[in-house]
Amino acid sequence: MNLHAIRAIYLYEMARTGRTLLQSVVAPVVTTSLYFIVFGAAIGTRIAEIEGVVYGAFIVPGLIMLMLLTQSVSNASFGIFMPRFTGTFYEILSAPVSAFEIVVGYVGAAATKSVILGLIILATAGLFVPLRIAHPGWMLGLLVLTAVTFSLLGFIIGIWAEGFEQLQFVPLLVITPLTFLGGTFYSIDVLPPAWQTVTLFNPVVYLVSAFRWSFYGIADVQVGASLAVTLAFLAAGLAAAWWIFRTGYRLKA
Amino acid sequence: MHPIISISKLSKTYATGQQALRNVDLEIRRGEIFGLLGPNGAGKTTLIGAVCGIVRPSAGSVSVGGHDIVREWRAARTLIGLVPQELTNNAFDSVLGTVRFSRGLFGKPPDPARLQQVLEELSLWERRDSRVMTLSGGMKRRMLIAKALAHDPQVLFLDEPTAGVDVELRQGMWQAVRRLREAGVTIILTTHYIEEAELVADRIGVINHGEIVVVDDKAALMQRLGRKQLTLELQAPLDALPPALAARGLALAAGGRELVYSYDAQAEASGIADLLGELEQTGVGFRDLRTTQSSLEDIFVDLVRQRR
Ligand SMILES: Nc1ncnc2c1ncn2[C@@H]1O[C@H](COP(=O)(O)OP(=O)(O)O)[C@@H](O)[C@H]1O
Ligand SMILES: [Mg+2]
């Protein structure tokens, strides 16, 4: 195990985050605050409580997930796309580092950043609505697991992408719609039965549901099912990353 | 002594169908400066890429320091430092930051004193906190060398290190290369300039169309390659060569209107001064003169023909 390499990649990526601190923290915080003002305070007061939780508080876990998913994907994809784009990736290819070590370094850094961001947004939410966290350990665990899984997805996108458009394509056209349709702003119980079934094919539903359960003890789907789906997704991501480095896909001529 | 790098039957065909390496056999001796000489597109960068793990070979095997680059890739790669041909553009990083990254990536523990030494040797210590985008081309090249040296490799690849580097800085670069060799580092550099290979290399390999055409000690090779011709346009055509001139190895050309003198460009004394004196004495006047040196292309053609 080349621990020095993992450390070097991790610290390098964290330093990159430090340089872009403003845009990487301020923007999501401002966006989330806007959601709270509009959906929590303005519209939320006219919406009934959902299973005993005021609407403003109900949407907090979903909003954190929304940010966590989009930020994880975009950070991690950018982190690995940049060295490909600038030509510095030759160094990583020629170094005594394994695929796994590269993934741990890049994905670890992106996930760390997402988790920090998630916690900042949580704190921001606390300023707007009354928060209650029933299972803090699970809450943190799910936060980390989701950040890692979607950073890994971002990593794969960053290797697949051949330009900046493709880099933005997935967060914008896949992650955001899936999150909006994944029960961020409503309980899927309110949907007609047919749509409820369709929704169960949306992986984000499982994340949001489990995460909300860690706050309020209410869930749309079984927590166990949520965990299983997330872990399966993580395993698929790891397999894809292993395949990429094994075959040199988009990396080696 | 075992060679530090041994390449055996290495071939590479790109996905485009372009065959960039054909059955290359090559051994690099420990501690030497090896010049890989060849025109653009000859396969130099591909060869380096295959040794360093950037290009996947289609066939053949490579070992570095006795470690097979596939089976014992970690051990093999730890020994290698690579300075790429293309300047990279990691604009926002600091010089020191990017060099520190390289050392860690190659599995070495942090060592600020060593990094300072490396940067000082390449005259970059003053610029350690500068962002890469503020560096000149020559500085960027040196920064890439610093990155390659940050983990104290035993083998250093320099792919066209003087591209875009002005003449003054080249001198400094060659001095640095020689110092490295004194410290026991084996250096493989590519170039398409004969003069450059001549200046620094101990041994030279010529590659053309993906094939190693010749590998030889510099001195031996230069003698084979470095012929020059002096052509004199005569004022009046000569029917026959005066014996004194024939004895010097001159020949008549262009129907007696030109005199051609071939000589070794490497020799201490080319004999041209003597020759001109001789012409004056024999009363052979000339209107004009020109010298020509076989271009690298000509030489490749010659070498390939010799082999077939
Ligand atoms: N990634 C690639 N895909 C397809 N062909 C390539 C690639 N890289 C190099 N080539 C081709 O392989 C040949 C050798 O290239 P290269 O090794 O870069 O030569 P050199 O470094 O000697 O100039 C050239 O014909 C070049 O066009
Ligand atoms: Mg080249």
pLDDT over threshold 60, residue B297:
no
* CATH code for the domain of B241: 3.30.70
Could you tell which of B36, B40, B46 is best to mutate to test the pocket of ligand 1, judged by most ligand atoms within 8 Å of the CB? B46
Q: Are residues B273 and B126 in the same domain?
A: no
pTM, rounded to two decimals:
0.85
Is residue B122 located within the same domain as residue B158?
Answer: yes
**Is residue A146 very low, low, confident or very high in pLDDT (cuts 50, 70, 90)?**
very high
Tell me if B308 is assigned to some domain: no
% of chain A beyond a pLDDT of 90:
46
Residues B260 and B113 in one domain: no
Q: CA of A2: which chain B residue's CA is closest? A: B107
Contact call for B106 and A90, based on CB within 8 A: no
DSSP 8-state class, residue B2: -
Residues B186 and B273 in one domain: no
A248 touches chain B (CB under 8 A): yes
Q: What pLDDT is recorded for position A145?
A: 94
Chain B, 15 to 34: residues with Cβ < 8 Å from chain A are 15
Let me know whether B124 and B140 are in one domain: yes
Query: What pLDDT is recorded for position B268?
Result: 66
Q: Work out the average pLDDT over B273-288.
A: 82
Could you say which residues from 52 to 81 on chain B have a Cβ atom under 8 Å away from some Cβ of chain A?
A: 52-56, 73-75, 77-78, 80
Asked whether residue B253 falls in the same domain as residue B166, the answer is: no
3 state DSSP class of B89: coil
Instruction: Tell me, yes or no, if B92 comes closer than 8 A to chain A by beta carbon.
Output: yes
Q: Do B194 and B276 share a domain, yes or no?
A: no
Same domain, residue pair B122 and B235: no
pLDDT at B303 over 80: no
Cα(B83)–Cα(B160) distance, rounded to whole angstroms? 9
CB < 8 Å to B103, chain A: 4, 8
- What pLDDT, in 10s, does the model give residues B123-140? 999 999 999 999 988 889
pLDDT at A230: 87
Q: Indicate the residue among B207, B222, B237 that finishes a domain.
A: B222
Nearest atom of ligand 1 to the alpha carbon of B207: 22
What's the CA-to-centroid distance between B159 and ligand 2, angstroms?
A: 7
Check CB contact under 8 Å for A15 and B97.
yes
Residue B306 lies in a domain: no
How much is the pLDDT for B280? 82
Residue B300 lies in a domain: no
Q: Is B193 on the interface with A (CB under 8 A)?
A: no
Query: Same domain, yes or no, for B79 and B178?
Result: yes
Residue B168 lies in a domain: yes
Q: Supply the pLDDT for residue A55.
A: 85
Looking at B193, B222, B251, the residue that finishes a domain is B222
Residue B234: domain span: 227-295
Pairing mode, strands B211-217 and B67-68: unpaired
Tell me which of A57-66, A173-182, B298-307 is least confident.
B298-307
Ligand 1 pocket: which of B18, B37, B56, B85 to mutate (most atoms <8 Å of CB)?
A: B18
Least confident residue range of A43-52, A70-79, A128-137: A43-52
Does residue B182 sit in the same domain as residue B87?
yes
**Residues contacting B74, CB < 8 A, separation 6+:** A2, A96, A98
**How does DSSP assign A84-144, residue by residue?**
HHHTTHHHHHHSS--HHHHHHHHHHHHHHHHHHHHHHHHHHHHHHS----S-HHHHHHHHH
The one-character DSSP state at A50 is B
| Alpha carbon of residue B24 to chain centroid | 17
Lowest pLDDT segment from A204-208, B166-170, B263-267 = B263-267
| Domain-located, residue B127 | yes
Could you give the 3-state DSSP secondary structure of residue B94?
A: strand
Residue B218 has what pLDDT? Answer: 83
Ligand 1 pocket check for B21: Cβ under 6 Å:
no
Secondary structure tally for chain B: helices H, strands E: 11, 14
Number of domains composing chain B: 2
Q: What's the pLDDT score for residue A183?
A: 83
The per-residue pLDDT for B143 is 94
- For residue B307, being part of any structural domain is answered with no
Whether B305 is covered by a domain: the verdict is no
Supply the CATH number for residue B148's domain. 3.40.50.300
Is residue B38 pLDDT above 60, yes or no?
yes
* Percent of chain B at pLDDT exceeding 90: 54
CB A79 within 8 A of CB A158: yes
Of B52, B69, B57, B45, residue with least CA distance to B12:
B57
> Which residues 247-286 of B have a C-beta within 8 angstroms of A?
none
Q: pLDDT digits over B179-236, tens only?
A: 999 999 999 999 888 778 888 999 999 999 999 988 988 877 766 666 778 888 888 8
Residue B263 and residue B208 share a domain: no
Domain final position from B222, B239, B266? B222
Q: What's the whole-number mean pLDDT along residues A233-241? A: 91
Same domain, B208 and B178: yes
Backbone angles phi, psi at A31, to 5 degrees: -60, -45
Q: Would B285 be classed as within a structural domain?
A: yes
pLDDT band at B298 (very low <50, low <70, confident <90, very high): low
Instruction: Report how far residue B195's alpha carbon sits from residue B218's, in angstroms, rounded to the nearest whole number.
Output: 11
Q: How far apart are the first and last CA of chain B?
A: 31
